[in-house]
């Protein structure tokens, strides 16, 4: 598409012009001749808001309706971005298709076709469940049709998830990391939080030696005392902006910028497997360290913000089981010793 002197949001597209306003999810073909009164009338209506949703019962109309729904508007920006990416993929495949004609077998085939990328394939099905539920809400599907995306067996995770960083990888990373990458690393280890929350930490979130914030993914208010190691490290960091991790001119830095910087450093490390360990794995390191320090499930959740034991099993792994079993057996031993004394 080219601009060619068109007004804001308007681009040349296959002999016509198209109005594209990504922030609103608008992409509308304007078939009126450019410069005519009819063109400007259509353009001004698009500027004021979305083009009326087509009365046709298809995935194109369904997607546009969902983007206008309160459910979508209330999502976190990152989740909105993820949903839009997958819904746009669905629109490319079934844009003109009536949702009533898409059955469970079709969604199952779509899921299996993406088996090489199991996480994305599962997410695609989960988004389809949401989209088809919206189809029922707006009358595109009748109650008796049910939700054809529900009940499709998802691909199982092939491992225990993101691997914690081994000691030798951590040691080399600490030695070669750039100042910003090292700061990200120390914050991830010290707080046990997701990278999205870590890059958003502001200096005024640190009060009385604790990190006081609300988790971005869960909306859960958290208050976490800083470890001695993290306190000491932050003492060496200069305050260049509102956030602790900054970009140019002290501005907040984007998640993708930090992630790419971390990847580049690991790709140049001598350890042969360094590049396979992702930043999110440091959250698992923090979880394991909490268990090794003698914390129980509730104490670990109080720091990491995990909502349930199932996630703790994934993050704590065998370490969690061993530590809990050790404490359980020690409790039995104490009971037996008390019996012999009496």
111-165 pLDDT, tens per residue? Answer: 999 888 888 999 999 999 999 999 999 999 987 778 999 999 998 866 555 789 9
Among 3.40.50.970, 1.10.40.30, 3.40.50.620, 1.10.443.10, name the CATH number for the domain at 167-328: 1.10.443.10
* Whole-angstrom distance, CA of residue 134 vs CA of residue 158: 31
Inter-residue long-range contacts of 312-321, CB under 8 Å, 24+ positions, other chains counted: 312/287, 314/160, 314/161, 315/161, 315/283, 315/284, 315/287, 315/288, 316/287, 316/288, 316/291, 317/160, 317/284, 317/288, 319/288, 319/291, 319/292, 320/287, 320/288, 320/291
pLDDT higher than 90, residue 30? no
* Residue-averaged pLDDT of the chain: 88
pLDDT of 339: 84
pLDDT given for residue 29 in this prediction: 80
pLDDT score for 229: 96
pLDDT for residue 215 is more than 60: yes
Question: b/e for 266-302, b at 16 or more Cβ within 10 A?
Answer: beebebeebeebbbebbbbbbbbbbbeeebebeebbe
pTM of the model: 0.65
Q: What is the pLDDT confidence band of residue 200, given thresholds at 50, 70 and 90?
A: very high
Range of lowest pLDDT (147-161, 246-260, 288-302, 318-332): 147-161
Average pLDDT in the 92-121 region? 91
Strand-strand pairing, 210-214 and 206-207: antiparallel
The rounded percent of the chain whose pLDDT value lies above 90 is: 55
Please calculate the CA angle 305-309-311 and round it to the nearest 5 degrees.
65
Q: Residue 50: what pLDDT?
A: 57
* pLDDT recorded at residue 52: 52
pLDDT reported for residue 313 = 84
pLDDT of residue 2: 53
* Window from 91-105, 152-166, 317-331 with minimum mean pLDDT: 152-166
Chain segment 232-245, per-residue pLDDT in tens? 999 999 999 999 99
Do residues 142 and 124 make contact, with C-beta atoms less than 8 angstroms apart? no
Tens of pLDDT, residue by residue over 37-58, are: 778 878 888 887 755 555 578 9
**Separation of alpha carbons 102 and 320, rounded Å:** 44
* Least confident residue range of 119-133, 139-153, 181-195, 265-279: 139-153
Contact 242, 252 (CB under 8 A): yes
CATH code, residues 54-158? 1.10.150
Residue 193 has pLDDT above 90, yes or no: yes
In the chain, which residues fall in CATH 1.10.443.10?
167-328
Instruction: Give the pLDDT score at 341.
Output: 74
In three-state secondary structure terms, 309 is helix
Q: 52 vs 93, which has greater pLDDT?
A: 93
Average pLDDT for 84-108: 92
DSSP calls for 38-59: HHHHHHHHHHHSPPPPPSS-SH
Give the containing element (helix H, strand E) for 311.
Answer: helix 309-341
């Amino acid at each position: 598409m080219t601009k060619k002197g068109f007004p804001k949001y308007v681009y040349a597209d296959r002999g016509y012009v198209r109005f594209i306003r990504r922030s609103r999810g608008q992409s509308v073909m304007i078939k009126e001749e450019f410069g005519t009164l009819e063109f400007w009338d259509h353009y001004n209506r698009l500027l004021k808001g979305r083009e009326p949703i087509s009365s046709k019962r298809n995935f194109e109309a369904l997607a546009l309706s969902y983007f206008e729904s309160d459910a979508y508007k209330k999502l976190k920006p990152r989740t909105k971005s993820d949903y839009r990416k997958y819904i746009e993929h669905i629109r490319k495949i079934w844009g003109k298709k009536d949702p009533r004609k898409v059955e469970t077998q079709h969604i199952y085939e779509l899921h299996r076709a993406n088996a090489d990328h199991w996480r994305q394939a599962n997410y695609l099905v989960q988004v389809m469940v949401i989209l088809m539920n919206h189809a029922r809400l707006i009358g595109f599907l009748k109650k008796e049709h049910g939700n054809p995306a529900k009940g499709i067996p998802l691909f199982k995770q092939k491992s225990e998830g993101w691997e914690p960083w081994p000691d030798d990888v951590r040691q080399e990373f600490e030695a070669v990391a750039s100042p910003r990458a090292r700061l990200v690393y120390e914050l991830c280890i010290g707080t046990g939080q997701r990278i999205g929350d870590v890059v958003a930490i502001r200096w005024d979130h640190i009060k009385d030696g604790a990190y006081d914030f609300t988790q971005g993914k869960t909306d859960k208010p958290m208050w976490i005392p800083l470890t001695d190691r993290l306190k000491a490290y932050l003492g060496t960091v200069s305050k260049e902006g509102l956030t602790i991790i900054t970009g140019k001119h002290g501005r907040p830095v984007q998640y993708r910028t930090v992630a790419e910087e971390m990847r580049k450093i690991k790709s140049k490390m001598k350890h042969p497997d360094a590049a396979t360990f992702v930043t999110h794995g440091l959250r698992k390191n923090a979880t394991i360290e909490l268990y090794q320090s003698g914390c129980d499930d509730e104490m670990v959740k109080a720091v990491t913000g995990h909502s349930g034991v199932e996630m703790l099993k994934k993050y704590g792994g065998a370490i969690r089981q061993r530590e809990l079993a050790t404490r359980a057996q020690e409790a039995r031993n104490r009971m037996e010793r008390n019996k012999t004394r009496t």
